[in-house]
Structure 1
Amino acid sequence: MKPEDLQLLVTREMPFGKHKGTLIADLPGNYLAWFAREGFPKGETGRLLALMLEIDHNGLAPLLEPLRKR
Structure 2
Amino acid sequence: MEIQPQKDFLTKLAYAKMPFGKYKDRYLIDLPEYYVVWYHNKGFPKGLLGQQLQTVYELKLNGLEYLIKNIKNL
Q: TM-score, normalised by structure 2?
A: 0.85
Structure (1 or 2) with the greater helix fraction:
2
Moved over 6 A (4+): none
Correspondence 1:40 to 2:44? yes
Instruction: State the distance in 1 between where 2:35 and 2:64 align.
Output: 17
Q: CA deviation at 1:63?
A: 1.6
Structure number, greater radius of gyration: 2
TM-score, structure 1 normalization: 0.89
1:63 and 1:18 mapped to 2: Cα distance? 25
Root mean square deviation, CA, Å: 1.4
Task: Name structure 1 gaps, 5 residues minimum.
Answer: none
Partner of 2:69: 65
Identity of aligned residues (%): 36
Report 1:11-50 matches (<5 A).
11-50=15-54
| Unaligned residue ranges in structure 2 (runs of 5+) | none
